[in-house]
Amino acid sequence: MQGGYGGDVMARRFNNLNDVKKYLSHVLNGLEDGSIEKDDARVRGYVSSVLHKVLLDNDLESRVKVLEEKLAIQGGKSK
């Protein structure tokens, strides 16, 4: 399966929100120039929104873990 964003669709990597933003820009441009069908753009937009939420949740989870570790260290020092 080929895609216009970096070649093979399966080879894409979405490591951060900027990657999702770039991909959505590609989808919008493809929709506007006719290289991506309306239904395909809708599916890609939906999946991108799910991925966006996953990336946000992952970031939040990482931040909470760091705070919990800091609290555990501080709690150990006060005993």
d(CA 11, CA 9): 5
For residue 60, count CB atoms less than 10 angstroms from its CB and return exposed for 0-12, middle for 13-18, buried for 19 or more. exposed
Other C-beta atoms lying within 10 Å of the C-beta of residue 77: 7
Q: What domain count does the chain have?
A: 1
Q: List the domain range (segments joined by +) for residue 46.
A: 2-77
Per residue of the chain (79 residues), give pLDDT as tens: 444 544 445 578 898 999 999 999 999 999 999 999 999 999 999 999 999 999 999 999 999 999 999 999 888 775 5
Angle at 9 between CA 37 and CA 2, to 5 degrees: 60
What's the confidence (pLDDT) of residue 2? 47
Question: Mean pLDDT over all residues of the chain?
Answer: 86
DSSP E strands in the chain: the ranges are: 2-3, 7-8
